[in-house]
Amino acid sequence: MNHNSVVEIRTYLEVHRIAPKKRWGQNFLVDGNARSRIIDLCSVAGGTRAWEIGPGLGALTDALIDSGAKMTLFEIDHGLVRLLRERYGDAVRIVVGDAVSTVASELTGVSAVPDIILGNLPYRSAGAIVASIAEAEPVVPRMVFMVQRELADRFTAAPGQADYSALTVLIRSRYDVQRVLAVKGGAFYPAPRVGSAVVVFEPAPGNSGPAAQQRASRIARLVFSERRKKIATVLRRKAAAGDVTAKRALDGAGTAGIDVSLRPGEIPVNEYLRWGETVQADD
């Protein structure tokens, strides 16, 4: 199949009575230059363990297999699963279901960590998918994802910027994030109305332990729930209402050197991590 031909892709889907489903963000990449760049970023070689989320019709899968990667595919659409099984047979492993839960579940207790996770992620669930991976153990050596431009902004935002959020803290507490490529809507079939970006994730140096990361993320979610208010105001009110996390965060803020007179968006990720390391561990 010519993965750069909209006509050929449309015809192939019609023959197999499959229509792109908006609810699952099925926008097939038809830009050969963007595809080549993504493949280069994946840096696969013979024996590379690659997990691909949302393989679609196999545009990236074909190139990765040709490069010698051992592929595991995560796909929710049973129609596409059928086509992928017919096409690849036993050459790939296919996990069927929602990637928000299936990828994290596969990672938990896995005997061989994938060398890379990649994918053209559905816009509606991309944030939840990446968050679920970031919360799972172990840390993945490399991830390359195509996501909506606005989500890439949230992943890469700095303190003080409007897109800096609890999601930013969660992701960047575990991974360094680099935005490497902008992709216009016309690079896909069907063409989305928004732009996309390719983002690369690698383990952050000097990672805190997973327990501290989890506490840092929990604190960030708590204070960002009222991001316009000062941290002290939010924590004191929630602690008074019996929120144990808020009380522990408030008690540990001084030791961690956190200025609770600031707003949540003014605290850098490394300070949230230090805060998570300082607060009392969960019972």
* Strand extents, DSSP E, the chain: 28-29, 49-53, 70-75, 93-96, 116-120, 143-148, 175-183, 188-189, 196-203
Nearest Cα to Cα of residue 196 among 209, 186, 204, 207: 186
- Does the domain at 6-203 match CATH 3.10.270.10? Answer given as no
Tokens of 98: 């929602």
| Vertex 20 angle, CA 15 and 23, to 5° | 150
Do 50 and 62 form a contact (C-beta atoms < 8 A)?
A: no
All CATH 1.10.8.100 domain ranges of the chain, comma separated, are 210-278
Query: Which bin fits 242, alpha (ψ -120 to 50), beta or left (φ > 0)?
Result: left
Rounded CA separation 182/116 (Å): 21
Rounded CA separation 142/60 (Å): 16
Between the CA atoms of 264, 268, 273 and 279, what dihedral angle is there, to the nearest 10 degrees? Answer: -40
All CATH 3.40.50.150 domain ranges of the chain, comma separated, are 6-203
- Would you write out the chain's pLDDT as a tens digit for each of its 283 residues? 899 999 999 999 999 998 888 777 789 999 999 999 999 999 999 999 999 999 999 999 999 999 999 999 999 999 999 999 999 999 999 999 999 999 999 998 777 899 999 999 998 899 999 999 999 989 999 999 999 999 999 999 999 999 999 999 999 999 999 999 999 999 999 999 899 999 999 999 876 788 889 999 999 999 999 999 999 999 999 999 999 999 999 999 999 999 999 999 999 999 999 999 998 765 4
Do 176 and 202 form a contact (C-beta atoms < 8 A)?
A: yes
**Top CATH class, 210-278:** mainly alpha
